[in-house]
């Protein structure tokens, strides 16, 4: 079974500063990796995903993440934080299909990003 650990339930950065949200995963088979954002009282919106190929993945709103197999990590970054980035961020993993059933996405517990003016 796969699992996701997000380090830091709350991260606070100043507007214009670098955003770094950490995600480590555990999977016995090559994973698919995702970052979702959730604004208050809303559903989840996909920021980016890694399936195969280039390990540096660019997403929406200036976010990017790098898949590092040796570190089992998929950290999310953004060079310059904006007030509108304040939200809950979830890292998720799914495993490549084995031809049988689907296990869905396994999510981390989330990181609440706070942007200070």
Partner 1 sequence: DAGVTQSPTHLIKTRGQHVTLRCSPISGHKSVSWYQQVLGQGPQFIFQYYEKEERGRGNFPDRFSARQFPNYSSELNVNALLLGDSALYLCASSLGPLSGNTIYFGEGSWLTVV
Binding site for partner 1 (CB under 8 A): 4, 32, 36, 41-46, 49, 51, 90, 92, 94-97, 101-110
Of residues 14 and 26, the one with the C-beta less far from partner 1: 26
What are the beta bridge partners of residue 37? 45, 89
Of residues 17 and 38, the one with the C-beta less far from partner 1: 38
What are the beta bridge partners of residue 70? none
The answer to whether 45 and 36 have CB atoms below 8 angstroms apart is yes
CB of 82 to partner 1, least distance (A): 23
Of residues 19 and 108, the one with the C-beta less far from partner 1: 108
CB of 55 to partner 1, least distance (A): 15
**93 Cβ contact list (under 8 Å, min separation 6):** 2, 3, 4, 25, 27, 31, 32, 33, 34, 105, 106
Token readout for 115 is: 């942007």
CB of 60 to partner 1, least distance (A): 12
């Amino acid at each position: 079974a796969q699992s996701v650990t997000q380090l830091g339930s709350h991260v606070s950065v100043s507007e214009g500063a670098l955003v770094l949200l950490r995600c480590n995963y555990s999977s016995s088979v090559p994973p698919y990796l995702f970052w979702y954002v959730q604004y208050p009282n809303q559903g989840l919106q996909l920021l980016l995903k890694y399936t195969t190929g280039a390990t540096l993945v660019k997403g929406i709103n200036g976010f990017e993440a790098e898949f590092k197999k040796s570190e089992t990590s998929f950290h999310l970054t953004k060079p310059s934080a904006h007030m509108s980035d304040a939200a809950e961020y979830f890292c998720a993993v799914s495993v490549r299909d084995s031809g049988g059933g689907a296990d869905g996405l396994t999510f981390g517990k989330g990181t609440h990003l706070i942007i200070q003016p």
